[in-house]
Structure 1
Amino acid sequence: MASSSPRRVELLAQIGITPDQIDPADIDETPLEAEMPARLAQRLASSKAAVVAERHPEDVVLAADTVVAVGRRLLEKPADEAEARRFLKLLSGRNHRVFTGIAVVAEGRTTWRVVDTRVTFKHLSDAEIDAYVATGEWRGKAGGYGIQGRAAAFVQRIVGSHPAVMGLPLFETSNLLYGTGWRPAA
């Protein structure tokens, strides 16, 4: 698995999959000029899978990347508390989209999918934003929140894949893995 995300490992465990090895890909995640959010998620997931597949050419490699967007505006991982607050204020009372790209490399062939999930946040008070930022849950999370934690209370509606918002769409991941001929060890 080309990720060090404990959430992704936990999500895989939900469907009975345990990675044989965790080997994070260290790539530049800077968006290209005018790159659309869905394309960015796909490119990053595919790039991560390719980098790790070069190191493990005989293995099946799974990679993923999650991108949060309000319109065309990307909300990456906040650099600090001030940016986390700005992101949460922007998300407050509105819809946003979470694009999760997944890629699998097996026998030199890459297959990929991008899952688009729409999330609606309730209106957040300054006190709610401050309390959430104080938890530190926003650190390292695209969009400045983790739906699997306290931010779950902010979600009015979700249309799409809940596990994709957490970082790994399980239905699509399972289909990609099984589509390569991969099967879990008995």
Structure 2
Amino acid sequence: MIPAFVLLASASPRRHDILNQLGVVHGVLRVPAPVGEDEPRLPGEAPADYVRRTARDKARQALAWLAADGRPDDIPLDWPQDWAQAPILCADTTVILDDDVLGKPADALQAAAMLRRLSGRTHHVHTAVVLAAHGHLLETCQISEVRFQPLDDADIEQYCATGEPFGKAGSYAIQGRAAAFVTHLSGSHSGVMGLPAHDTMHLLQQASALPSRR
């Protein structure tokens, strides 16, 4: 079993779509200025520790925002009356290459620079998922390995012109046109998109077994 209703604390349409695909009934919390958005790594912090910490930060901020009377954008009539007590789902995704965090590009120049680094090479995508449920924080981290074909300047220029790299960790969307760049993927396709389906369902199942503390 999984919770009957979940609050997704993310504006990502991809995470929303994945939950819909899984049949998870959910509402969307758009928490202002998420703490974990491209937060700098701490000195000596491992990539997996970094992405887990930023996901936890997002969950804690979502809990605090909800406790301070934060509300979803719209509350449909068929939402449960106790929707504010539902588990809160947060996630953070980052691309790691040469132990560097490749976050979301600020502009086309930065996007092109990231894509040149990824060209013809293997990188890792870390997606941490945190579920705040009944006074507990449940978490997991999915690490996927992705290899790109060599990209020339024309490939990169054309891709950046689509606007797809913006708002994406590592400057690409595997569910979009960048799928054509991928020669190898080991791990979770949905995890690279931003929410690993299997891991997320496992956390939701764990939450259903927890005693209520919230």
Calculate the TM-score normalised by the size of structure 2: 0.81
Q: Of residues 17, 20, 31 in structure 2, which corresponds to 1:24?
A: 31
The number of equivalent residue pairs is: 182
Q: Which runs of 5+ in 2 are unaligned?
A: 1-7, 68-84, 210-214
SS in 1 for 2:26: coil
Amino acid at match of 1:38: A
Q: Of residues 129, 135, 151 in structure 1, which corresponds to 2:162?
A: 135
Q: What is the root-mean-square deviation in Å for CA atoms of aligned residues?
A: 1.4
How far residue 33 of structure 1 moved from its aligned partner, in angstroms, is 2.3
1:151 aligns with 2:178: yes
Matches within 5 A, 1:1-12: 1-12=8-19
Q: Which runs of 5+ in 1 are unaligned?
A: none
* Cα deviation 1:143-182 (Å, max 9, x = unaligned): 0111111100000000000000000001000110111107
Q: Hey, what does 1:164 align to over in structure 2?
A: 191
Whether the 8 Å CA contact 2:10–2:28 is kept in 1: the answer is no
SS in 1 for 2:208: coil
1:86 aligns with 2:96: no
Query: CA–CA distance in 1 between the matches of 2:187 and 2:103?
Result: 20
Query: CA–CA distance in 2 between the matches of 1:136 and 1:68?
Result: 19
Whether the 8 Å CA contact 1:9–1:18 is kept in 2: the answer is no
SS in 1 for 2:14: helix
Q: Of residues 19, 33, 55 in structure 1, which corresponds to 2:43?
A: 33
Identity, % of aligned positions: 41
Query: CA–CA distance in 2 between the matches of 1:85 and 1:106?
Result: 40
Query: CA–CA distance in 2 between the matches of 1:97 and 1:68?
Result: 6
Amino acid at match of 1:27: V
How far residue 56 of structure 1 moved from its aligned partner, in angstroms, is 3.8
Which stretch of the first structure deviates more once superposed, 71-80 or 16-25? 16-25
Whether the 8 Å CA contact 1:53–1:59 is kept in 2: the answer is no
Matches within 5 A, 1:102-121: 102-121=129-148
SS in 2 for 1:174: helix
How far residue 50 of structure 1 moved from its aligned partner, in angstroms, is 1.5
